Chains A and B, each alone.
Chain A
Amino acid sequence: MFLFLLLENWIPFAPEQGSSVAETVDWLYVFLVSLTIFFGVAISLTIFYFAMRYRRRSDDEYPDSIEGSHKLEALWIGIPFAIVMVIFWWGASVYFTVFRQPTDPLDIYVVGKQWMWKFQHPDGQREINELHVPLGRRIKLTMGTEDVIHSLFVPAFRVKADVVPGKLTSIWWEPIKTGKYELYCAEYCGTKHSGMIGYVIVQEPAEYQAWLSGGAGGGSLASNGEKLFSQLACNSCHKTDQSGRGPALEGRFGKSEALQAGGTVTIDENYVRESIVNPRAKIVAGYDPVMPTFQGLVSEEQLLQLIAYIKSLGDKKPGELPGGTATPTTAQPSAAKPAPEQPKPSTPTPAVPNKK
């Protein structure tokens, strides 16, 4: 069993290297293990040698005292300091690799819930405790939670991030080989914490496509978000032609906006989420704080759908007529329809979504 563990990996007791960063993390680990072995053995042997060499021979043996030495102190303050700064720098650079946002990732949305992981693919597929992803793409998870703090952890990918109530967190990885990898909840989350496990299944792109088309779609994430957008009457204020009392959302995502209160904000997932549940927190300059909160009216999963929709508007230009260009979004016909039908609301109170 041991031998097997040793032979399976080039680093003993390390999980499989399933992502592009795994090896980077392992190298830092190997460096630290070597350092620990070196200092551990060196100090232990020195102590053992002294303890043998200077073992008390007779009961009235009193050695001369040695005060100390500033030179030696400087040496063993200076050398460890240099070493730990190297570790700090190395650790930080690995961290930046792990956390720097990938370009053009495959966006998958995750909701943690006592005690399961719910995944939504951009094409609308949903799965629980299993996540299929294609090889050769960078996978980015945007994660929210319905209840307590969870933490998504895939040992083989060496990535982990807490999923915190009230905000969205994200992690990404690039799988480097196909296979089935264990996925854990690493933040203690109550009774069945240890049962909140699942698998990431990395497939060849073609296989993944086949898997995608096999599942019941029910509309893409963005189109579901769009339906919700009109159900909640968001489109009565956020009009595409900029005549609404809220800003048009086309072309906004990913951009930086000036705030009423001064400063700027990047329109990212977390800003959109905050603006839905707590709209008055950060008002974009030029608009009045009239938007009501949707806290409690939309579930965490619906929030992610709305965000996916607003994100999909990020590539368009404000004022662009819906359906006017050839952007191939399935959502477009339905985006065009409700707009004329909606009467101008007299109050900024939101329409309560139809709860089924």
Chain B
Amino acid sequence: MIEATEAKLKQVEPRTHYLNANYGIKSWLLTIDHKRIALLYLASITVFFFLGGAFALMIRLELLTPKGDIMTPDAYNKMFTMHGIVMIFFFLIPAIPAVLGNFLLPLMLGAKDLAFPKINLLSWYVYNLGAIFTLYAIIAGGVDTGWTFYTPLSVNSTSQVTPMAVGIFINGFSSILTGLNFIVTIHTMRAPGLTWFRLPLFVWAHYATSLIQILGTPVLAVTIVLLGIERIFGVGIFNASLGGDPVLFQHLFWFYSHPAVYIMILPAMGVISELIAAFSRKKIFGYSFVAFSSLAIAVYGFLVWGHHMFVSSQSVFAGMVFSFLSYFVAIPSAVKVFNWTATLFKGSISWDTPMLYAFGFIGLFIIGGMTGLYLAALGLDVHVHDTYFVVAHFHYIMVGGAVMAYLGGMHYWWPKITGRMYPEGWAKLSALLVFIGFNLTFFPQFLLGYQGMPRRYHEYADHFQVLNVMSTAGASILGVGYVLPMIYFIWSMRYGPIAKANPWPGSGLEWQTSSPPPTENFEETPTVTWDAYEFTKDNSRRYDVVKQGS
């Protein structure tokens, strides 16, 4: 089958697509093609992913033994702080929207580009400008406040808090610009016939995410500015002895940072909806429920920040309200899981790599989501708050959820992005290693947390060691699972079998153009006459023969 395609491709003239339309470094750095910008983001984000991963492995290595034997307390504190900052602000938040979203939104909408192509390029430069300040802060000695920057610790800290804060502040604008661009694009650039309820759920998820980005990120910016003012001028906003309130910082911080979790997980849910549909060849069960659950999560996300502060001296009644509201987020999340499961019923389910990642995602998301219920339960949270239970929970959501979906999505759309297939066997192995490594790393941390091991500990009591050793062992397997795709993706760009326009086949508009797509995405604007996820023999064949060549 693949040989036949290759032979067919050899006969046609060399095709012009977005990758070979122009050459030279300038054609990349000045591009306003959303697909190239997505690849620029992919490069930047991959650098940060492996930087953050290196910090993580150092942390796990240190925690192999109860005593602090490979680094000083100060070095350790900087490790976990920078692991958090790099992973959250420079990898998890931008990963799916900036790489997959950027690449796919215009394609899925049947548009030539995003609404504001130059702003899109600007957002990549803004991201990198923020990255420069952050890397400077790391090289100049690092930051030891924890990624949460709680006051008064962050006000008093002599480490590189200021350049780091500047980096995050600038990076936030990149997030806002991307969100703005997506919203305008989704509103104005849908192809004829592509009504809101024909949109792929990936688009719905990005719409909800973009709302959070443009509404929430400014609050982070304000918080960081206040922190900067406090550090430089000491006016006492967060300083109790000057009449300020250190807990105010936590309110402001979590007002952004809790919704930020949904910036990470909503696009991931969008990816999973695509994967489940494509690899079971079924319309997503309860499409509109899944679509609206994304919006519901985005809205509820803004109402629950106080559940990070049950033991922070917040009033008992505020605790009650935040606990109550937190449970509302559980419902739309559960709706998604149930609908995905129901979609499989009587489907035609393939076990290709992206689907394995999707299965893995659901498994990890159930554990991550359900342990969220433990943390929202007031009396139980008092015990597990700020222990490894919390560490395990948010890694299940943010790494088990967002990263699994990111990798699943990368595999699914890789042929569209590069025009090449990846080696299936190695890819399946990577999915397996990531799943096993992940569980071995983070499941023991739930047990450690309930036993009472606090987070951010450089040294710990001897009786916590066995579980810590398991966790570190898991981290090394997970590390291998992450490095593998990096290697075979690069390999496949040169040696991978040529991909068809629609190899799986998928149902979205992105599969209606050649792989890789031409610079203008579609040779003629498609007209949509079918609903999302209509898989039939006919339209899949129709996709198969879309204008190769020319």
Q: Which residues of A contact B (CB under 8 A)?
A: 1-2, 12-15, 24-25, 28-29, 32, 35-36, 39-40, 43-44, 46-47, 50-51, 54-57, 60-69, 72-73, 76-77, 80-81, 84-85, 87-88, 90-99, 147-149, 151, 153, 155-156, 158-162, 164-167, 169, 182, 184-195, 197, 277-278, 295-296
CA distance A47 to B364 in the complex (A): 13
- Distance in Å: Cβ of A145 to nearest Cβ of chain B: 9
Instruction: Choose, from B35-43, B338-346, B421-429, B490-498, the stretch at the interface.
Output: B338-346
| Cβ-defined contact, B73 with A194, below 8 A | yes
CB-contact partner of A193 in B282, B286, B377, B458, under 8 A: B458
| Cβ-defined contact, A69 with B377, below 8 A | no
- Which chain B residues in 279-315 approach chain A with CB under 8 Å? 280-283, 285-289, 310-313
| Cβ-defined contact, B452 with A94, below 8 A | no
CA distance A60 to B281 in the complex (A): 10
| Cβ-defined contact, A184 with B454, below 8 A | yes
User: If the complex has contacts A56-B350, A149-B153, are A88 and B286 also in contact, measured as CB distance less than 8 A?
Assistant: no
CA distance A36 to B396 in the complex (A): 14
B55 at the interface (CB under 8 A from A): no
User: If the complex has contacts A15-B451, A66-B346, A186-B386, are A84 and B457 also in contact, measured as CB distance less than 8 A?
Assistant: no
CB-contact partner of A54 in B246, B349, B374, B382, under 8 A: B349
B22 at the interface (CB under 8 A from A): no
Q: Which residues of chain A come closer than 8 Å to B450, judged between CB atoms?
A: 13-15, 29
| Cβ-defined contact, A93 with B379, below 8 A | yes
User: If the complex has contacts A95-B379, A164-B312, are A66 and B282 also in contact, measured as CB distance less than 8 A?
Assistant: yes
| Cβ-defined contact, A91 with B381, below 8 A | yes
CB-contact partner of A32 in B281, B350, B374, under 8 A: B374
Q: Which residues of chain A come closer than 8 Å to B311, judged between CB atoms?
A: 151, 160-162
| Cβ-defined contact, B246 with A149, below 8 A | yes
CB-contact partner of A295 in B241, B312, B337, B379, under 8 A: B241
- Encoded as 1 (CB less than 8 Å from any A CB) or 0, chain B from 338 to 382 comes to 110110111111110000000100110011001101101111111
16 extra A-B contacts, CB within 8 A, seeds A35-B373, A66-B342, A95-B316 = A29-B374, A46-B341, A50-B341, A50-B344, A62-B281, A62-B536, A65-B282, A72-B342, A77-B335, A80-B334, A81-B331, A94-B377, A164-B313, A187-B386, A193-B456, A197-B461
**Can you report 20 residue pairs joining A to B where beta carbons are below 8 Å apart?**
A15-B451, A32-B373, A50-B349, A51-B349, A64-B346, A68-B288, A77-B335, A88-B323, A88-B377, A95-B319, A155-B451, A160-B385, A161-B382, A182-B452, A184-B454, A186-B455, A188-B77, A188-B456, A190-B153, A194-B459
Q: B461's closest neighbor in chain A, by CB?
A: A182
B460 at the interface (CB under 8 A from A): yes
User: If the complex has contacts A90-B377, A92-B323, are A51 and B346 also in contact, measured as CB distance less than 8 A?
Assistant: no
Q: Which residues of B contact A (CB under 8 A)?
A: 68, 73-74, 77, 144, 146, 150, 152-153, 156-157, 239-241, 243-247, 280-283, 285-289, 310-313, 316, 319-320, 323-324, 327, 330-331, 334-335, 337-339, 341-342, 344-351, 359, 362-363, 366-367, 370-371, 373-374, 376-383, 385-387, 447, 450-452, 454-461, 466, 533-537, 540
| Cβ-defined contact, A54 with B452, below 8 A | no
Q: Which residues of chain B come closer than 8 Å to A57, judged between CB atoms?
A: 348
CB-contact partner of B313 in A85, A162, A197, under 8 A: A162
Q: Which residues of chain A come closer than 8 Å to B156, judged between CB atoms?
A: 147-148
| Cβ-defined contact, B466 with A92, below 8 A | no
Report which residue of A65, A73, A147 has the largest number of chain B beta carbons within 10 angstroms of its beta carbon: A65
| Cβ-defined contact, B459 with A195, below 8 A | yes
| Cβ-defined contact, B313 with A161, below 8 A | yes
Q: A185's closest neighbor in chain B, by CB?
A: B454
CA distance A91 to B460 in the complex (A): 29
Q: Which residues of chain A come closer than 8 Å to B246, judged between CB atoms?
A: 149, 164-166
| Cβ-defined contact, B382 with A55, below 8 A | no
Q: Which residues of chain A come closer than 8 Å to B460, judged between CB atoms?
A: 194
| Cβ-defined contact, A39 with B366, below 8 A | yes
CA distance A290 to B370 in the complex (A): 55
- Distance in Å: Cβ of B381 to nearest Cβ of chain A: 7
Q: Which residues of chain A come closer than 8 Å to B287, judged between CB atoms?
A: 67-68
- Distance in Å: Cβ of B436 to nearest Cβ of chain A: 15
| Cβ-defined contact, B73 with A54, below 8 A | no
Q: Which residues of chain A come closer than 8 Å to B451, judged between CB atoms?
A: 13-15, 155
| Cβ-defined contact, A47 with B153, below 8 A | no
Q: A192's closest neighbor in chain B, by CB?
A: B73
The 5 closest A-B CB pairs, nearest first, are A166-B240, A94-B379, A155-B452, A91-B377, A95-B378
CA distance A265 to B152 in the complex (A): 28
User: If the complex has contacts A63-B346, A91-B379, A160-B311, are A191 and B286 also in contact, measured as CB distance less than 8 A?
Assistant: no
CB-contact partner of B345 in A50, A166, A187, A195, under 8 A: A50
Q: B156's closest neighbor in chain A, by CB?
A: A148
| Cβ-defined contact, B347 with A160, below 8 A | no
Q: Which residues of chain A come closer than 8 Å to B458, judged between CB atoms?
A: 193-194
Report which residue of A14, A57, A148, A159 has the largest number of chain B beta carbons within 10 angstroms of its beta carbon: A148
Q: Which residues of chain A come closer than 8 Å to B378, judged between CB atoms?
A: 91-92, 94-95
CA distance A298 to B245 in the complex (A): 20
- Distance in Å: Cβ of A272 to nearest Cβ of chain B: 16
User: If the complex has contacts A46-B341, A148-B152, are A87 and B327 also in contact, measured as CB distance less than 8 A?
Assistant: yes
CB-contact partner of A43 in B152, B337, B447, B466, under 8 A: B337
User: If the complex has contacts A61-B348, A87-B377, A149-B152, are A278 and B243 also in contact, measured as CB distance less than 8 A?
Assistant: yes
CA distance A193 to B386 in the complex (A): 13
